[in-house]
């Protein structure tokens, strides 16, 4: 029986504007309760106001008065989401292990790890959140379209007759297209513009095109189209693998990874409630205790794709050397080597995971690679920016280009085996509110995948790398936890649930256990192993997490962060108490960590940047916390978390430290987080690891 836990009372009908109040439940957690408005007379309202004012001055200002912010409590910001356990359509095999009940208010609860649940609607966050409506990039529908023809096995570019009459076409219309060709990660070139009338079959070499049309001597239309054309080498690989598969068995499952940057589990519920509700209601498996392993996108994605932590990834496939990133054995390579077709797409080319302050790939990393097309689109098409990133790109948002490409890739290879990795940044990277504009779109996108048949034989991972890393919400306690607990849901096809009921049971057990990107890496290897095309042993472990495992097997309920490669600074298992931020010990710890930052920058890359960056000093400590003692730690060692401000850059940082009271040694665990934006402060530094600690002595401009 599905278990439902109501976060908010059911919303009112659209015709009635709900009134929102705040109330406290047991434990002091604020919840928003929506009520239908009741008819109230003016005298009653006046009486209530007089009574409230009298009580206010009689008994003083109470703590809950702080939440009476009408902008914060606007009903449009609150949408009901019900957490619903996965409904199995088959009876699972008996498993002796049981999942002990998790106390209310916790996501994970054991002697080794206790992760608190965050209320999505806490006032400290909601005062910065405002739901944003989706807006189409163009009022007109595109004049051209592309469609793959089964008969010719080619894409047909054609003028859309239905849209034709809406454009200012004179006596004649002249249209041509240019194919986009990759030169390297930073450059593309174009073929000569090929004219066409009505329609034209595109060559297989055209993986992306830019179309231009003019009439009466002026350009009236420009747009781009990405395609997934036939590649003979890919077709041959698919044929050979299919012929080698055991006859009479289900085709091996494909894998589709859909990633959205900077979406915490909580902000998915807050900003994308329709999407979250769809996932809860339709048999997806949530991993509520999924904890990131490092600061930003690159190390967390490398953990998923390679099983390496940041230092070892930098050593094995340095992103600072041309061709360095090509050396790593990415999970999509392992699928490709075993007969799968692969694709990788990511929007916002200037901040792509493998390109921001990095060299990128020397060769295309997958069979189908969207970066060349998006580079051309950002250069050629009309575009707008939101929060410093490309938003509209021609007739679609930049994210929609990626999503459409993913939809087309999975449609084209519906009856084959594929591995697709599709990642978006533009609607989520810089603001907790912006992604709400894509909520209805994403819910419908998931439904399209179902209607297309994609879900019937595809393991789908809907996930993120981390929560919001900077901005006004980040310094709050909610923001601290959200940053470390990204959203993740996994879909298993029905035939896998029937043939492997233990997978279902394992994912149910793992919902409220500590899990990591390394586990997800091993899960992808497990899926490849059950294809029959590889043995799990031959695929290797997660190099930097020997104790990690596939999520299709039950993980230990007694896991700790140290067991699974999570440094104290990123670990959400700690429970903290607030301590004085002005105490002698807090000031001492603050000075020690600032000294650590200065030494880090001075020694970075053998002192290359030492003269470029001004030394920092401690300005103030905003808050300080001490962790409850861990049974595994010596009595003399205590763990602290500080949020502090430095001069002269007014940088706001968060650090986790271990202080040994016997020898007075202090150790900074993990890296130190930068909580506020530092654009323009560190342009002299071109390394992403040290950039957030550098305040350039000389500023550009």
Query: CATH no. for residue 506?
Result: 3.40.720.10
Joined tokens for residue 575: 């429970």
Distance CA 696, CA 545 (A): 37
70, pLDDT greater than 50: no
- The CA distances from residue 347 to 448, 479, 663, in Å, are 21, 25, 50
| 370: helix, strand or coil | coil
**How big is the CA angle at 570 (ends 564 and 573), to the nearest 5 degrees?**
70
Residue 564 lies in a domain: yes
Q: What is the mean pLDDT of the chain?
A: 88
**152 shares a domain with 207:** yes
Lowest mean pLDDT of 64-68, 417-421, 431-435, name the range: 64-68
Buried b (16+ CB within 10 A) or exposed e, 115-127: bbbbbbbbbbbbb
CB-based contacts of 655, cutoff 8 Å, min separation 6 = 569, 593, 641, 642, 644, 668, 672, 673
Residue closest to 578 by CA, chosen among 640, 639, 627, 625 = 625
- C-alpha to C-alpha distance for 688 and 354, rounded to whole angstroms: 12
User: pLDDT band at 32, cuts 50/70/90?
Assistant: very low
Task: Using DSSP bridges, classify how beta strands 208-215 and 218-226 pair: parallel, antiparallel or unpaired.
Answer: antiparallel
Per-residue pLDDT band for 48 (boundaries 50, 70, 90) equals low
Distances from the Cα of 364 to the Cαs of 124, 179, 441, in angstroms?
44, 17, 29
Residue entry with tokens 């896991």: 559
The answer to whether residue 72 scores a pLDDT higher than 60 is no
Q: What is the pLDDT of residue 23?
A: 33
DSSP state of 173: -
DSSP 8-state assignment for residue 498: H
For tokens 């880090």, what's the residue?
A: 600
- Domain, as residue range, for 592: 576-693
Q: Are residues 613 and 565 located together in one domain of the fold?
A: no
CA dihedral 30, 34, 37, 41 (to 10 degrees): -10
Residue 585: CATH number of its domain:
3.10.450.10
Q: Residue 99 falls within a domain, yes or no? A: no
Q: Are residues 334 and 272 in the same domain?
A: yes
* 39 and 172 fall within a common domain: no
- Stated as kind and residue range, the H or E segment containing 333 is helix 331-336
Q: Clarify whether residues 218 and 241 are in a common domain.
A: no
538-563 pLDDT tens trace:
999 999 999 999 999 999 999 999 99
Say if CB 331 and CB 524 are below 8 A apart. yes
Token code pair at residue 558? 């007694």
Asked if 372 and 360 touch (Cβ cutoff 8 Å), the reply is no
**Computed over its alpha carbons, how large is the radius of gyration of the chain?**
27
Residue 396 lies in a domain: yes
Round to whole Å and give the CA distance between 602 and 607. 5
Residue 688, pLDDT score: 80
3-class DSSP state for residue 18? coil
Residue 465, in any domain of the structure:
yes
CB atoms within 10 A of CB 214: 17
**Residue 358 sits in the same domain as residue 290:** yes
Q: Are residues 520 and 584 in the same domain?
A: no
Structure tokens at 141: 């529908």
84 has pLDDT over 60: no
Provide φ and ψ at 35, rounded to 5°. -125, 150
Q: Are 292 and 409 part of one and the same domain?
A: yes
Per the domain annotation, does 657 fall within a domain?
Answer: yes
Task: Name which of 212, 137, 153 is nearest 404 in CA terms.
Answer: 137
pLDDT at 59: 39
Q: How far apart are CA 693 and CA 671, in angstroms?
A: 11
Question: Residue 607 has what pLDDT?
Answer: 84
Same domain, yes or no: 168 and 257: no
Same domain, 541 and 584: no
Q: What's the pTM value of the predicted model, to 2 decimals?
A: 0.87
Kindly state whether residue 129 falls inside one of the protein's structural domains. Answer: no
**Would 215 be classed as within a structural domain?**
yes
Sign of CA dihedral 426, 428, 429, 434: positive
Last residue of a domain, one of 226, 259, 292: 226
Residue 700 has what pLDDT?
A: 67
Is the torsion defined by CA of 128, 133, 138, 143 positive or negative? positive
- Beta-bridged to residue 638, according to DSSP, are 659
Asked, for residue 392, whether it belongs to a domain, the answer is yes
- Measured distance CA(409)–CA(423) in Å, rounded: 14
Furthest C-alpha separation in the chain? 88
Q: Name the one residue in this structure whose structure tokens are 């004012």.
A: 53
Buried residues in 473-509 as b, exposed as e (16+ CB within 10 A)? bbbbbbbbbbbbbbbbbbbbbeebbeebbebbbbbbb
Specify whether the CB–CB gap between 376 and 188 falls below 8 A: yes
Same domain, 463 and 405: yes
Same domain for 667 and 540, yes or no, is: no
Which residue do the tokens 């292990």 mark? Answer: 97
Residue where one domain finishes, among candidates 174, 199, 226: 226
Return the pLDDT at 698: 82
What's the total number of domains in the chain? 4
Last residue of a domain, one of 524, 547, 570: 570
Q: What is the pLDDT of residues 97-156, one digit of tens each?
A: 545 689 999 999 999 999 999 999 999 999 999 999 999 999 999 999 999 999 999 999
**Residue 348 Cα distances to 289, 433, 675, angstroms:** 29, 18, 22
Buried (b) or exposed (e) across 399-414, using 16+ Cβ within 10 A? bbbbbebbbbbbebbe
């Amino acid at each position: 029986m599905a278990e439902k836990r109501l976060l908010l009372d059911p919303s009112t009908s659209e015709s009635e504007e709900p009134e929102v109040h705040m109330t406290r439940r047991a434990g002091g957690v604020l919840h928003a309760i929506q009520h239908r408005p009741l008819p109230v007379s003016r005298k009653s309202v006046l009486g209530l106001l007089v009574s409230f004012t009298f009580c206010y001055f009689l008994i003083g200002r109470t703590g809950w008065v702080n939440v009476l912010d009408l902008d914060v409590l606007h009903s449009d910001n609150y949408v009901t989401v019900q957490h619903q356990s996965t409904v199995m359509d088959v009876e699972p095999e008996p498993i002796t292990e049981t999942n002990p009940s998790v106390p209310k208010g916790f996501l994970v609860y054991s002697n080794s790890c206790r992760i608190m649940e965050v209320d999505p609607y806490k006032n400290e966050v909601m005062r910065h959140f405002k739901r944003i409506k989706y807006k189409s990039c163009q009022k007109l529908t595109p004049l051209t379209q592309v469609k793959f023809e089964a008969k010719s096995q080619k894409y047909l570019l054609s003028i859309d007759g239905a849209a034709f009459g809406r454009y200012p076409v004179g006596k004649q219309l002249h249209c041509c297209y240019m194919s986009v060709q990759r030169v390297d990660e930073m450059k593309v070139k174009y073929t000569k513009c090929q004219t066409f009338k009505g329609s034209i079959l595109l060559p297989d070499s055209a993986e992306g095109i830019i179309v231009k049309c003019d009439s009466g001597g002026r350009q009236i239309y420009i747009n781009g189209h990405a395609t997934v054309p036939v590649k003979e080498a890919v077709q041959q690989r698919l044929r050979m693998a299919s012929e080698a598969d055991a006859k009479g068995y289900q085709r091996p499952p494909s894998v589709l990874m859909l990633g959205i940057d900077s979406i915490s589990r909580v902000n998915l519920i807050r900003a994308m409630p329709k999407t979250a509700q769809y996932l809860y209601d339709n048999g997806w498996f949530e991993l509520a205790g999924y904890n990131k392993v490092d600061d930003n996108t690159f190390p967390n994605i490398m953990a998923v794709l390679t099983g390496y932590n940041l230092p070892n990834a930098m050593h094995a496939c340095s992103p600072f050397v041309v061709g360095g990133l090509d050396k790593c054995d990415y999970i999509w390579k392992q699928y490709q080597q075993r007969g799968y077709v692969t694709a990788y797409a990511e929007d916002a080319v200037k901040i792509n995971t493998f390109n921001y302050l990095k060299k990128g790939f020397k060769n295309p990393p997958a069979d189908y690679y969207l970066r060349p097309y998006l580079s051309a689109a950002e250069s050629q098409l009309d575009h707008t920016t939101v929060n410093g990133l490309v938003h509209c790109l021609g007739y679609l948002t930049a994210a929609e280009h990626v999503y459409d490409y993913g939809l087309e890739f999975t449609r084209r290879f519906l009856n084959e085996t594929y591995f697709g990795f599709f990642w978006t940044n533009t609607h989520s990277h810089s603001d907790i509110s912006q992604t709400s504009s894509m909520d209805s779109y994403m819910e419908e996108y998931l439904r399209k995948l179902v209607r297309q048949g994609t879900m019937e034989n595809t393991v789908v991972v809907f996930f993120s790398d981390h929560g919001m890393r900077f901005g006004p919400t980040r310094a709050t306690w909610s923001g601290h936890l959200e940053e470390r607990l990204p959203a993740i849901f996994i879909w298993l096809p029905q035939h896998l649930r029937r043939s492997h009921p233990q997978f279902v049971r394992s994912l149910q057990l793992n919902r409220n256990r500590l899990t990591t990107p390394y586990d997800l890496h091993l899960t992808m290897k497990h899926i490849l192993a059950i294809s029959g095309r590889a043995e799990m042993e031959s695929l290797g472990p997660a190099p930097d997490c020997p104790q990690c495992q596939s999520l299709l097997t039950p993980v230990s309920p007694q896991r700790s962060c140290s067991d699974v490669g999570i440094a104290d600074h990123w670990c959400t298992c700690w429970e903290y108490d607030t301590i004085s931020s002005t105490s002698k010990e807090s000031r001492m710890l603050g000075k020690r960590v600032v000294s650590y930052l200065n030494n880090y920058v001075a020694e970075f890359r053998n002192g290359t940047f030492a003269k470029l960056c001004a030394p920092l000093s401690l300005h103030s400590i905003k808050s300080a916390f001490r962790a409850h003692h861990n049974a595994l730690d010596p009595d003399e060692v205590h763990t602290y978390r500080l949020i502090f401000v430095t001069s002269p850059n007014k940088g706001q940082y968060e650090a986790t430290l271990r202080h040994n009271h016997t020898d007075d040694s202090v150790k900074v665990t993990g890296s130190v987080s930068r909580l506020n934006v530092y654009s323009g402060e560190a342009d002299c530094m071109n390394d992403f690891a040290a950039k957030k600690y550098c305040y350039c002595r000389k500023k550009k401009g």
